[in-house]
């Protein structure tokens, strides 16, 4: 009964969310989290948003970026990202469907200024780390809810990147869980 999705709002943007897609669970903190990412984008930057889901971060970053490309493997999330682009009337965003580890080597040839990495709890695929080390942009904003995979991935990336800042956002009040935003800059 009813439609297969709900509509959620973040700031001035609306998104369709269904059972097979991902959406941050704390609507009161989402804009705080996304603004930490937006603060790392300079006007005119080209941004690649890996693991873009339904397009929430990609669309949020349109405020400053000249171009945002979201990469997403989940077919329903990809479909809803296209719907969000149209619904929110944003034109500086595009999305590609497929696994980040498959798409990234080709896509990074376009010289992006910032890479946003927001993987699931398992973190980055080993080949994603390798591709970023070889061809990555000057800045990475890594968003993670799982410290173990985050620390593993940061250890891999440290050969080419330095950590500039680490900020936590409490999306899960009264629990031991935090969302972490790490800004890395290429050496």
Q: What confidence tens digit (pLDDT) does each residue in 94-105 have?
A: 999 999 999 999
Confidence of residue 7 (pLDDT cuts 50, 70, 90): confident
Asked whether residue 1 carries a pLDDT value surpassing 80, the answer given is no
**Of 50, 62, 129, 145, which one is the catalytic site residue?**
145
40 — pLDDT class (breaks 50, 70, 90) = very high
Torsion 98-27-164-67 (CA) sign:
positive
Task: Report yes or no: 119 and 141 within 8 Å, Cβ to Cβ.
Answer: no
pLDDT digits (tens, 9 = 90+) for 155-187: 999 999 999 999 999 988 888 889 999 999 999
pLDDT for res 37: 98
Bridge partners of 70, per DSSP, are 49, 95
Based on the residue annotation, tell me whether 145 is a catalytic residue of this protein: yes
Of 83, 49, 84, 44, nearest to 64 (Cα)? 44
Q: Pick from 54, 85, 84, 87: which is nearest to 71 by CA?
A: 54
The pTM of this model reads: 0.94
CB 72 within 8 A of CB 93: no
Quick check: helix, strand or coil at residue 177? coil
pLDDT computed for residue 16 by the predictor: 87
Per-residue b or e along 59-90, where b marks 16 or more CB atoms closer than 10 Å to that residue's CB: bbbbebbebbbbbbbbebbbbbbbbbbebbeb
Terminal-residue alpha carbon distance, the chain: 54
As a whole number, mean pLDDT of residues 16-23 equals: 85
Average pLDDT over residues 111-117: 97
Q: Please tell me whether residue 6 adopts helix, strand or coil conformation.
A: strand
Do 23 and 17 form a contact (C-beta atoms < 8 A)?
Answer: yes
Read off φ and ψ for residue 156, nearest 5 degrees.
-70, -40
């Amino acid at each position: 009964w009813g439609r297969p999705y709900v509509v959620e709002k973040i700031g001035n943007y609306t998104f369709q969310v269904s059972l097979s897609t991902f959406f941050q669970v704390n609507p009161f903190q989402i804009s705080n989290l996304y603004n930490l990412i937006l603060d790392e984008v300079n006007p005119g930057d080209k941004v690649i948003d890996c693991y873009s889901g339904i397009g929430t971060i990609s669309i949020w970053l349109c405020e400053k970026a000249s171009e945002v490309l979201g990469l997403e493997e989940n077919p329903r999330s990809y479909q809803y990202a296209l719907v969000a682009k149209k619904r929110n009337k944003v034109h500086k965003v595009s999305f590609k469907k497929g696994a980040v580890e498959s798409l990234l080597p080709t896509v990074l040839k376009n010289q992006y200024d910032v890479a946003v990495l927001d993987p699931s709890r398992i973190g980055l695929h080993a080949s994603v780390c390798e591709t970023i080390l070889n061809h990555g942009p000057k800045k990475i904003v890594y968003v993670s809810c799982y410290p173990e995979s985050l620390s593993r991935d940061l250890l891999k990336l440290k050969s080419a990147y330095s950590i500039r800042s680490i900020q936590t956002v409490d999306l899960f009040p009264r629990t031991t869980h935090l969302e972490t935003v790490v800004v890395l800059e290429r050496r």
